Structure 1
Amino acid sequence: MTSAAEPAGEGRVLHTPMTAVYPEFPGKVAVVTGAARGMGARFTSALAARGVHVVGGDINAGQMSATAGELNATLATQALHEQPGTVVGAGVDVTKADEHEALAQLALERFGRLDFWVNNAGIFPFALVDEITPEQINATLSVNVEGVLFGAQAAARHLGPGGAIVNMSSVSAIRVRRGRGAYCTSKAAVAHLTESLAVELGDKGIRVNAIAPGYIDTEMTRWVREDPAALRHALDTVPLHRLGSPEEVVGPLLFLLSDSARYVTGHSIAVDGGSRHV
């Protein structure tokens, strides 16, 4: 694995692309949920650039179709493999189990196999504890927890030995943040669900891990950059004193899906600049 990383000053975000190439990836097939934008789109792009065919699913089917078209158009010049993967977009409501199965069937119909599944879709609600409504907690648990469970169930029906599932948890699974009670609860559940899945799906030779990002420079954390006090607080609670970049989440994802992690299962890898320790 190589990268063009460079020293960063306080607050600076390293968006320099990583050039990690895994020779076993070309020809593999992945499903990524929440893939129309943000980290999901970045995961999809990184996998396809390395020769993985990707079925991207998103609640916004129109935006997912547009993202798939844009990625396919750019892969010819930006791929890290001579035969880049193909991205296929589809609509999916991750709260519905049958729609996960439809994504799996689409992958099998288009590419004849399924190797990886990335449960990335999620929501990030804000409300102080005494303001959390039944509707908010139900929606958060439905999308962030049930969405992971249903995705893993669909994946498990079709992945063979050596298959891998990666769930998106968060540093919020172990650190409480004001106003994020519903979100923190859901991500703690994802972390524990990941361990349960790893134990049970290990019988099938399927690995299950999670990534737990901290402050990453994405649309979801734009509020941090737009609030000087929030940004200062964030930097003060990150030992590396900077926000992370999407590239720095992509690296662990690729590792967890790769043969380099073939004896790694049931873990949540924190990508947080050390903030979980502060």
Structure 2
Amino acid sequence: MTTATGASNPGRVEHGRIEVVHPDMVGKAAVVTGAARGMGAVFAAGLAARGVDVLGADINDEQMTATAAQINADLAGVEKPGRVVAARVDVTSADEHEALAQRAVAEFGRLDFWINNAGIFPFAEAQDISPEQISAVLDVNVEGVLFGAQAAARHMRPGGAIVNMSSVSAVRVRRGRGAYCTSKAAVAHLTESLAVELGDKGIRVNSIAPGYIDTEMTRWVQEDPAALAHALEVVPLHRLGSPEEVLGPLLFLLSDSARYVTGHSIAVDGGSRHV
């Protein structure tokens, strides 16, 4: 169910929870990076609510610990929920990804799903992108995905699934976001490469490409009336999406419902890619 919150911010809406249940996911184990807040926290909570044990990892380990505790407390009344365990990870480190995969197996006895969600969203006009900025965004947004997928593949059995976070920015230009757009285009193509090669192991790899989603990353849009008006104009549904509306496609891609889907990117953008 979706209801408007009022004229003060016409782009924001209140969203009910995604009610879909995938019984095949119960008892499985997942790693979610960038899980301390935003979409990552929603992913961790949504998976745990459906009986998946989750190792939530973030570079901010204090916030990750608090988020995990809150999710577990919120799920206390849910029948047979999964549990969320907090961990720290620097996604630019291949070794820390490997340690994360090993810990997931040690904690849960298995590793079925891996969600490469961690990312950064820097701003700079094209001529002002510094060597430090392009290196940082490629390290986090691209190498972080590669290292996560590599670690996951070493510990997953056939039937495992990896989901990377790309963006509609992979196929659309946004002024001042040249480094970010480049990194997300790389993620989309890397997803295809991983799907081809990890298919030999029976592991599926897909990506999700969100558009304007109501998170901290889009706060700059919501706080700028002109930017918000433009966003609502180019989105055919004329509203921002919610993290819950990204969770739905994630659950599909991880589940047996998508067991013959690999190498694809699903846009969750209210149709803006077509405008």
Q: Which TM-score band (shorter chain)? A: over 0.9
Per-residue deviation, 1:12: 4.2
Give the secondary structure class of the aligned counterpart of 2:209.
strand
What does residue 185 of structure 1 align with? 182
Moved over 4 A (4+): 5-10
Give the secondary structure class of the aligned counterpart of 1:76.
coil
CA-to-aligned-CA distance 1:55-107 (integer Å, 9 cap, x gap): 01101111111111111111113x3xx21001000100000001011111111
What does residue 148 of structure 1 align with? 145
What does residue 258 of structure 2 align with? 261
Give the secondary structure class of the aligned counterpart of 1:141.
helix
Per-residue deviation, 1:15: 1.7
Per-residue deviation, 1:190: 0.0
Q: Please give the alpha-carbon distance, in whole angstroms, between the structure 2 residues aligned to 1:165 and 1:8.
A: 35
Q: Please give the alpha-carbon distance, in whole angstroms, between the structure 2 residues aligned to 1:11 and 1:36.
A: 25
What does residue 231 of structure 2 align with? 234
Q: Please give the alpha-carbon distance, in whole angstroms, between the structure 2 residues aligned to 1:123 and 1:257.
A: 24
Provide structure 1 residue ranges, at least 5 long, that are not aligned to the other structure: none
Q: 2:196 aligns with which of 199, 224, 227?
A: 199
CA-to-aligned-CA distance 1:96-155 (integer Å, 9 cap, x gap): 001011111111111100000000000000000011000000000000000000000000
Per-residue deviation, 1:5: 4.9
Amino acid at match of 1:216: I
Aligned positions of 1:151-170 closer than 5 A: 151-170=148-167
CA-to-aligned-CA distance 1:11-40 (integer Å, 9 cap, x gap): 342421111111011110000000000100
Matched, 1:92 2:72: no
What does residue 57 of structure 1 align with? 57
CA-to-aligned-CA distance 1:217-269 (integer Å, 9 cap, x gap): 11110111111000000001111111111111000000000000000000000
Aligned positions of 1:59-138 closer than 5 A: 59-77=59-77, 79=78, 82-138=79-135
Query: Over the residues paired in the alignment, what is the CA RMSD in angstroms?
Result: 1.3
Q: 2:173 aligns with which of 176, 181, 184?
A: 176
Give the secondary structure class of the aligned counterpart of 2:96.
helix
Q: Please give the alpha-carbon distance, in whole angstroms, between the structure 2 residues aligned to 1:245 and 1:239.
A: 15
Give the secondary structure class of the aligned counterpart of 1:167.
strand
How many residue pairs align between the two structures? 272
- Of 6-15 and 213-222, more deviation after overlay is shown by 6-15
Amino acid at match of 2:98: E
Contact 2:36 2:56 in 1 (8 A): yes
What does residue 30 of structure 1 align with? 30
Contact 1:13 1:217 in 2 (8 A): no
Superposition TM-score, scaled by structure 2 size: 0.96
Give the secondary structure class of the aligned counterpart of 2:75.
helix
Give percent identity, aligned residues only: 78
Q: Please give the alpha-carbon distance, in whole angstroms, between the structure 2 residues aligned to 1:215 and 1:161.
A: 34
